[in-house]
Structure 1
């Protein structure tokens, strides 16, 4: 069966939505453990506290940022601009 151009490109380049991350829990655990994702980001909703990485059932591989402020608790999914390149 012949691959389409989009399938060929998907195999050639790696992103946060590549199969290694989406279908592989140990790959995302490795990225979190090795701090390949930004550890803390500023919460733009409340501006009081930072957001930190938490594991949930929603979001990319159950990872998202959650505000540490107990009154806010807003969430932000992990995206390409929050991924550190080494």
Structure 2
């Protein structure tokens, strides 16, 4: 399944999650693409209908693994940030 859902608008709205030629501005009858969660909200509210059928029963895709930082590294970084700046000036 694609990351984007093609839809046709039933009303006028603007949303930065919409991908179209007018930077997220949509008017009734326009075709646009958006992410699955936004497409589900738009369909549920009646603002737009998906071109390929209902998306209300679809599960969102799995999240990709992300970078994790250890608690030790976080504590060391916080300590470093809280430490006073070394004095710099003429010697």
Q: If the length of structure 2 is used for normalisation, what is the TM-score? A: 0.23
Which protein is bigger by CA-based radius of gyration?
Answer: 2
Q: If the length of structure 1 is used for normalisation, what is the TM-score? A: 0.24
